Every structure is written in C-alpha cells, then in structure tokens.
Amino acid sequence: MAAPRRPRAATEEKKQRLLDATEEIMLEDGYAAVSSRRVAAAVGINAPLLHYYFPTIDDLFVAVLLRRSGRIVERMAEALASDEPLRAWWELASDPRGTALMVEMLAAANHRPVLKAEVGEIARDVRAMQVERLESLLAEYGVDRDEFPPVLVAATVQGLAFSAVQDLAAGYDTNPEDAIKAMVRFIDRLEAKRAAARR
C-alpha cells in the first residue's frame, strides 16, 4: 500500500491563509459573518475553490478550532510546567484575542452540532490536564485540596478569566478590571508563598 501523499507546501500555505482570514472575520464581525464568499474574497480566490480545501463551512470552523486549540493545549502544558504555574495559566486564560475568538466559537457551536462536539472534546481534555496538574500543585501553594478541589480551582481560574476579559472587551459595566486586579493580587500571594516554600 502506497504511503499517503503529503500536502504540497502551497496547499498548506493557502489553507493557513483561509484559516487566518476566517479568524479575522470572526473577530471583526462575528461567526455569522463567515461565508464562503467572504473568506475566499479575503484571500483572493474564487468562492468554489474554498470548498476544495474545506468542503463545508462546518469543516472550516472545525479547522479554525483545531488549529487554535492545538496551540492552546501546548501553551497550557508549558504554563502548568513553568516556574509560576498559576500566573502563567492566568495570563494564558485572560488573553483578549483568544477569549474573543472562543466567544465566537461557542456561539457558532450552539448552531453547529459538529463544532459543538469538537469544542466539548477539547474542553474536556484541557480541563483534565489542568486538574491532573492541580492534584499536586495545590499542596505547593498551601491550598487544601479537600476544601478547594482541583476541579473547582480549574473552573474558577478559567471562568473568571473568560468572563472578566469578555466583559472588558464588550465594555460592560461589571467592574471586570477590579476582578482582574484582585485575581492578580491573589496569584501574587500564592506564587510568593510557593517560592518561599521551595527555597
């Protein structure tokens, strides 16, 4: 049996440009603005050619999600293995561009079952990674894992980052800056406590 052919560099480059264009459209005008015609025009190709690379718009959305989530998983692993895991995790989780894109992905997933399934799998895998690392990490921060189980801490960090950054970007009057500052102060204390204990 012949080995599968690797995609040509030009083909891969064109796919990446299409994914970049899709992300930009989602960030500027929301997921509902993504269409074959608009994405193709942004890259300078005919709309039918888009479907050579991505047969359906669902395929395009899933490809955007998988590319983005691949980076997120790598960066999350690096954050959790860093010298200051909670700080690195918080900085990653509160990235405005990533949060804005995820808001659009979640909105699209509400109407696209294939995308919803992919989002669910990625969320499960990332949460499992976070919880597994927190199993040992919480003790290093002096946090009682019976009182504050890893799954609670993981959901709190992710949830607060997501809602605060989303509210900040949307201009909602919910005092997201105060929540962010309070979380940063809390992380500062925990990181200092962990560093002192490791000396």
Q: Which domains does the chain have, with CATH numbers?
A: 8-55 (1.10.10.60), 57-198 (1.10.357.10)
Among 41, 42, 22, residue whose Cα is nearest residue 32: 22
79 touches 148 (CB < 8 A): no
- What local confidence, expressed as pLDDT, does residue 198 receive? 86
Question: Residue 107 is encoded by which pair of tokens?
Answer: 């909105």
Question: Per-residue confidence of the chain (199 residues) as pLDDT tens digits?
Answer: 555 555 566 689 999 999 999 999 999 999 999 999 999 999 999 999 999 999 999 999 999 999 999 999 999 999 999 999 999 999 999 999 999 999 999 999 999 999 999 999 999 999 999 999 999 999 999 999 999 999 999 999 999 999 999 998 889 999 999 999 999 999 999 999 999 988 8
189 touches 170 (CB < 8 A): no
- What local confidence, expressed as pLDDT, does residue 2 receive? 55
Among 49, 33, 35, 155, residue whose Cα is nearest residue 15: 49
Residue 88 neighbours by CB distance under 10 Å? 19
- What sign for the dihedral angle of Cα 166, 97, 36, 57? negative
96 touches 106 (CB < 8 A): no
Residue 18 neighbours by CB distance under 10 Å? 22
64 touches 50 (CB < 8 A): no
Residue 31 DSSP label: G
Question: Residue 114 is encoded by which pair of tokens?
Answer: 């294939």
- What local confidence, expressed as pLDDT, does residue 169 receive? 86
